[in-house]
Structure 1
């Protein structure tokens, strides 16, 4: 659980102020007593006595401590579309009961609060909204929890709060100063789309793994039969071929090796409108969800996966394997932001210390910036194995909504199609992300190119 206590340093000193009810009671009592003296009427004194005694009785025990307020949010592995839960706890550290406590909390629009309640008594707030004030009473030395439950609609770090509370005591004659807490950010991980790529990697680089490399070694993939030589194991002898050729022959195999996959996220531009997990997807939504799916697939196969941003920050996640790396990838993706930049982050992307020569580079890009196409062409000319995944939404807003003329919008589409065709001429396969099997055909083509002989430049 994540807890944010009240920031007492940022708030004024604990104090109580009189309410309008106390002012009216004192004013009415004073007016009646003055009128009784001036007019010489005893009945006005009798009439003012209940107001004076009631006010004095209510103020016999004045509160001194301000209420305590904190936000508690479930810090588990919450995936977009899952159920979220948070609690705003209001405590009474004083020796006097709080007659009324008014609590209000602001919640991110991507966290849809559907039910709110005090102590298990829930209220459906789908229509009225979760930022409305809620009222309760708090006994001495107790705390009351405002429970918020609903659905997380989109990945990211979404704030719950700030929350505020004001309480009234002494039969409503005194009210506390407002107590406000800082917001808590709830982590919502992207939904992992079902993704499978059954094709072999273009070039396996590690020592052990699930992919069949082109190098001979101890593996399960048969590479052929050859004459027995020094160092060959006896269990590799193919007796059928040896008897027929009257010479010892052994079965040659290919070594099983792991691969390094670099998922490069183009964050130079954003397009489309995000509608949450069940709605339309923007470029950033498709990019983050596809990156999570690709990472999960290859990490499950035992490969090494690295993350890299193509943008102003050029953030990088070093390659690693295992479930810990998968959780680190999800945490890393929560901070992905689209930001345009006039500078070209070439030095951070193309260095040999960042991209291995044997790595498969999967570039998730909407191809909205000309520098993105130049980056892909440069990777291809450098001998990298590159796959470009088009993340531009198919249902992009019509030209009228974007402020473009229809003719200009069609010209922009044609120019983008020409850019994609030029990338394919440079040997960069471009495929649109479509979930399961999106990269199978592309990886097959890349693997075929990897096995072809290369012409060295003189």
Structure 2
């Protein structure tokens, strides 16, 4: 494994094997046959057998072969994938936030690992995938491609990211429209707090790009565990508010819940699937919600 690779723990890799990137618009609009790929168990034509590994779906096991050999084998299939997967990361200054209980792990660290999980899913399906990162300086791009070397290129860019600035001017994001084509699958990863970023997702969805939001929030934002006097600072604007945590907790939690619900209803109205992951939960939780059995994507 190269120095630029983000290491996914074995138990996380096992959980990812049960997931499939299942685009809705791309498969309906483009049909089958746009990009040849190898998919683990989601195919149309039989390709080969391999030994069963924890995390494989039971329906993929060849039970007749098990009866003859007394060993578990999984049927791998070959399918045609019509999608290119794009990751859009919000690496503005708020991505540097962390929880009081785990100050060494930032929102961006969590987002990096979540993006690495998506790369692994695209890689195991043989799909093209690319990376778009947004900071206060504008847009950075890793063009879409296939294979393990592409994964390493994306990982290197993810490792180099530093959170900074606020959401950039719209003109700086113009290359995004040149790269993300109608029918592509775009997974946005960020806190979802920048209204300009949400408007961008709505515009992409209305222009026949399939868009999903993987919202990443801190446990502190969810639970507001502050008491006594506390200085709250907006990392992007620098604005500060001095308040008594215990006194404002109830009002904050009510406002936060209302804003969180309103955001996801707004996205739903634009046909954008969304879910929220928290820094104190498994990094793949949003992917399980969207792409696991019964997921909404």
Other structure's SS at 1:334 match: helix
CA contact (8 A) 2:96 2:106 kept: yes
In structure 2, stretches of 5+ residues that fail to align are 47-77, 233-241
Task: Say if 2:173 is the partner of 1:348.
Answer: yes
Q: After superposition, what is the alpha-carbon deviation per residue over 1:214-273, rounded to whole angstroms, capped at 9, x for unaligned? A: xxxx9539xxxxxxxxxxxxxxxxxxxxxxxxxxxxxxxx96235210010012223532
1:376 corresponding residue in structure 2: 201
Superposed, 1:175-190 pairs within 5 Å as 190=6
Cα gap change, 1:428/1:201 in structure 2, threshold over 3 Å: closer, same or farther?
A: closer
TM-score by length of 1: 0.43
Higher relative contact order (CA 8 A, sep 6+): 2
RMSD over aligned Cα atoms = 3.4
Q: TM-score, normalised by structure 2?
A: 0.63
Residue 112 (structure 2) pairs with residue 299 (structure 1): no
Q: Displacement, 1:290?
A: 0.5
Q: Which residue of 2 aligns with 1:439?
A: 287
Unaligned 5+ segments in structure 1 are: 1-75, 79-186, 213-217, 222-253, 447-458
Asked if 1 retains the 8 angstrom alpha-carbon contact of 2:99 and 2:219, the reply is: no
How far 1:399 moved relative to its partner?
Answer: 4.4
Q: 1:143-158, aligned counterparts within 5 Å?
A: none
Preserved CA contact (<8 Å) 2:126 2:147: yes
Q: Mean alpha-carbon deviation: is it higher for 427-436 or for 260-269?
A: 427-436
The answer to whether the Cα contact below 8 Å between 1:359 and 1:385 also exists between their aligned partners in 2 is yes
User: Does residue 1:359 correspond to 2:184, yes or no?
Assistant: yes
Matched residue, 2:263: 419
When residues 349 and 263 of structure 1 are mapped into structure 2, their CA distance, relative to the original with a 3 A threshold, is: farther
* C-alpha distance in structure 2 between counterparts of 1:331 and 1:364, whole Å: 17
Which one of 70, 84, 101 corresponds to residue 260 of structure 1? 84
Residues 436 and 267 of structure 1: CA distance in aligned 2, closer, same or farther (over 3 Å): closer
C-alpha separation between the residues in 1 aligned to 2:284 and 2:108? Answer: 19
* 1:356 alignment partner, SS class: coil
Q: Deviations over 1:136-194 (max 9, x none)?
A: xxxxxxxxxxxxxxxxxxxxxxxxxxxxxxxxxxxxxxxxxxxxxxxxxxx7x544362
- Cα displacement (A) at 1:421: 2.1
Please identify which structure carries the higher helix content: 2
Number of residue pairs the alignment of both structures matches: 224
The runs of 4+ residues in structure 1 deviating greater than 6 Å are: none
- Partners of 1:272 and 1:365 in 2: CA distance: 12
Residue number among 388, 391, 407 corresponding to 2:216 in the alignment: 391
Q: Which residue of 1 aligns with 2:8?
A: 192
Shift of 1:303: 1.0
- Whether 1:201 aligns to 2:23 is yes
